[in-house]
Amino acid sequence: MTITTHTDERPWTQEMVVVHRAFRREFPAAAAMVRRTAEGDTKRAKVVADHIRLGLAGLHMHHTGEDALLWPLLLERAAPSTGLVETMQAQHHGVDERTEAMLPALDAWQAAPTRATGEHLAGLIDGFAAALFEHLDLEEREILPLAARYVTAAEWNQLANHGKDSMKGSELPIMFGLVLEEATPEERARLLANLPVPVRLILRTVGAWQFARYVKRVRG
């Protein structure tokens, strides 16, 4: 028997779609940046490699939050969908394996950016992105409706808090900037509303400057 969680305040699951947009944009763009980097340009290679590592760190925070907070709730409350949740867990493991395979190639390309090392890394990023996007598609199509039904708003908000609390102070304006970049005005307002007032102030002032500077350095 399944139990629907009753609450007057439902979780805003669109938040996850907004976060996913950043992953969908940045990883294919990173593969293109790797391919465009001139042979021997170690300075540029470091900028791109660090950007890729930041994206992977953000994805890791996103997935560990789901592993710790979301899957247990759905396994407990959405019993007919346990197979789906187990599929999501298996996809996390698959993405992790592709990440582990990518990291040595990323280090090698940063140290010696050649056409061969760049194409090898870019190919790994392409495969990683394809596996990730398959996972994100399934999550948005099947998991978010379950979360809207079985998870409370307070429980859902713990996911965002997990990511925020896991970030370094220097990463916060960059990660939020990447997430907010393609957000609608309504989405932006809702995402910022969940943050403490001092954090919102930082993101709108010095954080906005830091993000603009970062984007110019990474994208040119």
Task: Read off the pLDDT of residues 88-110 as tens digits, 9 standing for 90 and up.
Answer: 999 999 999 999 999 999 999 99
Report pLDDT for 169.
73
Residue type for 67, please?
A: D
Quick check: 3 pLDDT over 50?
no
User: pLDDT of 73-93, one tens digit each?
Assistant: 999 998 878 899 999 999 999
Could you give the CA distance from residue 51 to residue 211 in angstroms, rounded to a whole number? 12
Query: How many other β-carbons are positioned within 10 Å of the β-carbon of residue 186?
Result: 9
Locate 29 and state its tokens. Answer: 């763009």
Average pLDDT over residues 56-85: 92
Report pLDDT for 52.
98
3-state helix, strand, coil in the chain (%, to 5): 85, 0, 15
Quick check: 51 pLDDT over 90?
yes
Between residues 31 and 2, the one the model is more confident about = 31
User: pLDDT of 151-199, one tens digit each?
Assistant: 999 999 998 887 777 777 788 899 999 999 999 999 999 999 888 898 8
**pLDDT cut 90: percent of the chain above it:** 81
Quick check: 4 pLDDT over 70?
no
**Please, is 100 exposed, middle or buried when counting C-beta atoms within 10 Å of its C-beta (0-12, 13-18, 19+)?**
exposed
